[in-house]
Amino acid sequence: MTDSQLAVIVLAAGQGTRMKSRTPKVLHPLGGRTVVGHVVEAARRLEAAHVLAVVRHERDLVAASISEQLPDVLIVDQDDVPGTGRAVELAVAALPAGFSGDVLVLNGDVPLLTAETLGDLIARHRETGASATILSAILDDATGYGRIIRGADGELDRIVEHKDATEAELAAREINAGIYLFGFAALREQLAALTTDNAQGEKYVTDVLGLLRTAGAAVAALPVSDAWEVEGINDRVQLAAAAARLNTVTIERWQRAGVTVQDPRTTWIDVQATLAPDVTLKPGTQILGPSVIESDAVIGPDTTLFAVEVGAGAEVKRTEASHSVIGAGATVGPFTFLRPGTILGANGKIGGFVETKNAVIGAGSKVPHLSYVGDATIGDETNIGAGTIFANYDGVNKASSTVGSHVRIGSHSVVVAPVTIGDGAYSGAGTVVRKNVPAGSLAINVSPQRNLEGWTESKRPGSAAALAAETANSPTADN
């Protein structure tokens, strides 16, 4: 149900200098979404009446990425005044007239925060009636973070940025997580009082807390129980650490739901993937994007699936596959490359050193060895002989071929598209199928074989091959 009293502001305008990247920091990927994508997803799950995202650096890229994920988002452009305080000020000004509820401000670079933790924050804030409630964390190493400075009464007094802190303030281990819930009126009033009078010459949203306290308002900082939830991403060391942490959480969630993960250290599962009980993941497996793995499927070792559906009981080993469907009981691999649009029917097989693309392969059909199947539809219970190539490209245009059910394509055939091979047809080994083959016909077009007797002895006299041939052909040969 929509929370009409809630507006969420996602801060995503910063450059992320410490990433040293052409890609904006908030668009770096981890666990199947961008950094800011995780924040936007948490915001979406809160069902706030308004979600706003503030952008500036690489504005179009960041805005497009966020809008694609959350079409209802209101994009706010930050001007040349730097700082998180300015970003919030502009977003608050963009809120619809008449809004008077709570404003949740989320740093766009804190991706592991869960909607549950945010829900608790909102509930606590509304219970206590404070003007502001924020999340904090106790860290062993607080370097870089804003420090929570508590007064003699133990309540939050103000936040000091690392660069502005004194020696004594730097010793504080409680940090500001960059997650704030404000009453709208209190926030708007204090934003107007922000200055850029600090070490970085920026308007800090963190100063709103100290200003509120000075004005006599109630503010509270709630330490989270799991500090990793609020870790910010500022450089690539933190990015990798957060990705690893998210992966561990995701894997443990699936393990508790009945999935066997033989080697969690070398297994990666994106947040959008779903796995049924009794799936087994062998070492070196990546289940990426919105992949769906049904029960009793065995995936790996060394397999990467992106947006792939794997049916119950299927086996997929040493395979790279994307945007494909593998039917129940089917087998794929080892050393197999399924490109987008591959659909393998139940109990089918795509074997070693086979590449497929846009290929619909029916139930029980097999492409066991060393083949390319591109732009083809194959019926049920058909066998494609070793080394068969579906030639789908004449150098200018692509075309498709159709193969029926119960067909036997001989080894090393070339199926030159567009061509149709009827049910129950055969092709001889080495056939180049350029014309349609009616149902039940055998297609052959290789020329008859001639054997030139004695060729080696006469054309390669004295060679090892000639001597071997001479021995084999001598009347005393014992064969």
Question: Would you tell me which residues interact with ligand UD1 (CB under 6 A)?
Answer: 11-14, 26, 54, 78, 82-84, 86-87, 107-110, 145-146, 159, 161, 175-178, 204-206, 232, 234
Q: What letter represents residue 6's amino acid?
A: L
To the query of whether residue 369 is one of the catalytic residues in this protein, the response is yes
Residue 110 binding result from ligand UD1, Ca ion, none, given CB thresholds of 5 to 8 Å by partner type: ligand UD1
Distances (CA, A) of 264 to 252, 284, 289: 9, 9, 18
Note whether 89 binds Ca ion by CB under 5 A.
no
208 binds, among ligand UD1, Ca ion, none (CB under 5 to 8 A by kind): none
Binding mask 209-238 for Ca ion (x = CB under 5 A): -----------------------x-x----
User: Using an 8 Å Cβ cutoff, are 453 and 470 in contact?
Assistant: no
Region class of 257: left (phi > 0), else alpha (psi between -120 and 50), else beta: alpha
Q: Tell me how far, at minimum, the Cβ of 58 lies from Ca ion, in Å.
A: 17
Binding at 161: pick from ligand UD1, Ca ion, none (beta carbon under 5-8 Å per type):
ligand UD1
Closest distance to ligand UD1 from the beta carbon of 89 (Å): 10
When the beta carbons of 104 and 417 are compared against Ca ion, the nearer one is 104
Q: Tokens 């999340």 appear where? A: 135
Residue nearer to ligand UD1 on the CB measure, 208 or 361: 208
Q: Which is nearer to Ca ion, 54 or 419 (CB)?
A: 54
Q: Which of 231, 321, 56 is closest to 299 using CA atoms?
A: 321
Q: What residues numbered 97-116 form the site for Ca ion, per CB under 5 A?
A: 109
User: Do the beta carbons of residue 362 and residue 344 sit within 8 Å?
Assistant: no
Q: Least CB distance from residue 3 to ligand UD1, whole Å?
A: 23
State the helix-helix crossing angle for 59-69 and 35-45, rounded to 10 degrees.
40
- Pairing mode, strands 174-183 and 102-107: antiparallel
Give the number of other Cβ atoms within 10 Å of residue 429's Cβ: 15
Supply the Cα-derived Rg of the chain in whole angstroms: 32
User: Does residue 234 have a known ligand-binding role?
Assistant: yes
CB distance 29 to 50 below 8 Å? no
What's the min distance (Å) between Cβ of 171 and ligand UD1?
A: 16
The closest residue (CB) to Ca ion is: 232
| 429 marked ligand binding residue | yes
Q: 408 pairs with which residues across the strands?
A: 383, 426
Residue 83 in marked binding region: yes
SS3 state of residue 178: strand
96 close to 74: Cβ distance less than 8 angstroms: no
Q: Per the annotation, does 426 bind a ligand?
A: no
Contact 438, 451 (CB under 8 A): no
Tell me how far apart the alpha carbons of residues 147 and 161 are, in angstroms, rounded to a whole number: 6
Q: Using alpha carbons, list the distances in angstroms from residue 159 to 152, 210, 225, 227, 233.
A: 15, 7, 20, 18, 20
Exposed, middle or buried: residue 145 (CB in 10 Å: 0-12, 13-18, 19+)?
buried
- Residue 64 CB, nearest distance to ligand UD1 (Å)? 16
Residue 25 marked ligand-binding: yes
Q: Choosing among Ca ion, ligand UD1, none, which partner's interface includes residue 84 (Cβ < 5 to 8 Å by kind)?
A: ligand UD1
Q: Which two tokens stand for residue 323?
A: 């945007």
Residue 294, annotated as binding a ligand: no
Q: Which two structure tokens, joined as six digits, stand for 201?
A: 């010459």
What is the crossing angle of helices 184-191 and 207-214, to 10°?
100
Subset of residues 168 to 187 that bind Ca ion, contact rule: CB under 5 A: none
Checking DSSP bridges between strand 132-138 and strand 349-352, what pairing results, if any?
Answer: unpaired
Instruction: Choose the contact partner of 108 out of ligand UD1, Ca ion, none; CB within 5 to 8 A by kind.
Output: ligand UD1
Q: Choose, from 38, 369, 406, 412, the residue flagged as catalytic.
A: 369
**Number of residues engaging Ca ion in binding (CB under 5 A):** 3
Task: Indicate the residue whose CB is closest to ligand UD1.
Answer: 146
Closest separation in Å from C-beta 94 to ligand UD1: 13
- Residue with Cβ nearer Ca ion (52 or 110): 110
Please, what is the minimum distance in Å from the beta carbon of residue 234 to ligand UD1? 6
The pairing of strands 315-316 and 298-299 is parallel
Cis peptide before 301 (omega within 30 of 0): yes
**Which of ligand UD1, Ca ion, none lies near 159, with the C-beta cut-off 5 to 8 A by kind?**
ligand UD1
Shortest distance (Å) from residue 233 CB to ligand UD1? 8
Q: Is 165 annotated as a binding residue?
A: no
User: 145 labelled as ligand-binding?
Assistant: no
Nearer to Ca ion, 20 or 256 (CB): 20
Which residues contribute to the annotated binding site for acetyl-CoA?
386, 392-393, 411, 429
List the binding residues: 11-14, 25, 78, 83-84, 109, 146, 161, 176, 234, 339, 357, 372, 383, 386, 392-393, 411, 429
Catalytic residue positions? 369
Binding residues for Mg(2+): 109, 234
Q: Which residues of this chain interact with Ca ion, rule CB under 5 A?
A: 109, 232, 234
